[in-house]
Amino acid sequence: MSTLVSPDVNLATVEHVRLLLEEAGVPVSRNFLLGQLAKGGHTTTRPRLNRALDFFLELGLAVEGSKGVQWTHSESPSLKRAQSVKVSRTSTPRFRLSRARIRSDTTR
């Protein structure tokens, strides 16, 4: 039995594919990517392109649908701020009333 080995991919190929996906902003086909790579003087094979795309898809940086592959990763500052804020449900409240304050409020 022989097993298929996925092709090695140059880092330059991965970077070119990433740039094409980011710049497109809309879903693009694999044929479009192959054509754009060839126009830019960086030809590659379909298995190598598939391997680079699988890398992005596995990491969740891109999605694939019926219209093609689209880059989804965002470096927006507002998104980074939202991701850095973590709310814990079991955290202690910020403000605690002292017993003296509670007693004085209930005696009124």
49 inside domain: yes
Q: How many domains would you assign to the chain?
A: 1
Give phi and psi for 70, each to the nearest 5: -135, 140
Give residue 40's identity as a one-letter amino acid code.
Answer: G
The answer to whether position 34 is within a domain reads yes
Q: Per residue in 23-52, is it b (16+ CB within 10 Å) or e — as a string? A: ebeebbeeeebbebbeeeeeebeeebbbbb
Per residue in 18-71, pLDDT tens? 999 999 989 999 999 999 999 988 889 999 999 999 999 999 899 999 999 999
Residue 58 belongs to what domain range? 11-75
User: Domain holding 32: CATH number?
Assistant: 1.10.10.10
pLDDT higher for 74 or 41? 41
At 18, list the tokens.
Answer: 């990433």
- Judged by average pLDDT, the poorest of 7-16, 37-46, 84-93 is 84-93
Q: 50 in a domain, yes or no?
A: yes
Q: Which of 18-32, 74-88, 90-104 has the lowest mean pLDDT?
A: 90-104
Are the beta carbons of 81 and 43 closer than 8 angstroms? no
